[in-house]
Chains A and B, each alone.
Chain A
Amino acid sequence: MVEGGKIPYQDWAAAKKKENFEKRLTRPVTRELNDTTGDPEAKCYLPGVPRATYIGLPFLIIETAKQVLLSYEFASATRIVYMDRKPKPPADSWMGWSVGSWDGDTLVIDVTAQNDKTWFDRAGNFHSDALHVIERYTLWTPYHLMYEATIEDPKVFTRPWKIRMPLYRRMEANIQPLEFKCVEFAEEFMYGHLVEKPGR
């Protein structure tokens, strides 16, 4: 879904991506490894934006006049999108800070202040804390949104780049988001090396 097919990494970053891929399922047996190596999603860490959109589990959009709430099944990740004003982020976070507006019938969300700890996917595509994402959600048919995101990070990429994909509305009767609280699935992977006899 990357427009143009390739992510425009700077040379050092292309090498780093390759290293990320090779070490993507490294068990975090030290603090340093936990902080620097391996796919954070494997540890049930919050996925950041835009990964939360295409992580494979549904999410819910709640729209009110002043705010949009995005509630993702994955790890109960949640984003508040301010629609009626533009407050500034007090600090970096995993899911960033979202300020939204309408461009005709398209919801535009400007996402800043994401930390550098998330990846774009399991393949090791990554970013720095200078990441800036601009999302566009457009109602395409009654059953599809068209989702576009422009991704900019001058520390990692040579230029901004774009992804584009349809989002499919879930049409089941009485559909509701369910829980995917994955921490308990990640604990053995993350902490098993600490206990004498890993496993139940």
Chain B
Amino acid sequence: MNRTQKGAWFTFGVAILLLTFGLIIFTQMFAAGATSIKLVRIWLLVILFFMGISAVLLRIKQSRAEVDFDERDNSIKKNAVLVSFVSLWILLFAASIIPSFVAGDAGSIPVCLLPIINLGVFLIVMLVYSAAILVQYGWGIKEKSHE
């Protein structure tokens, strides 16, 4: 596994952990009873532990001669940017339409929710970006094994 793949797995993991963390916080806000601070703390520790392990793994190279990235890695990353750019517009379209279904056409939305919505969009786009990188590497490996 090269550095780009490791980076993609790292981004994928962090995005999933943060999205789940956000969902926990969001559901706790509307759930009856006291919020579980313990669960939030444990989840934060899991995220920090995962980030620490990923940072160490990213520094470890397969061999001393291994380059950080080559032409193929760049091409894969550029394709992933294109995929995530398209997904971003689909998500933004959804983010502008869904509130009118939830709050009604004449409804309003608190301004403090705007950064949270955009953060959610950002995390999903990062998920798409890393998934696109991993899928392309998966296809590349399959093509090589067919040859």
A binds B: no
- Residues on A close to B: CB < 8 A? none
- Residues on B close to A: CB < 8 A? none
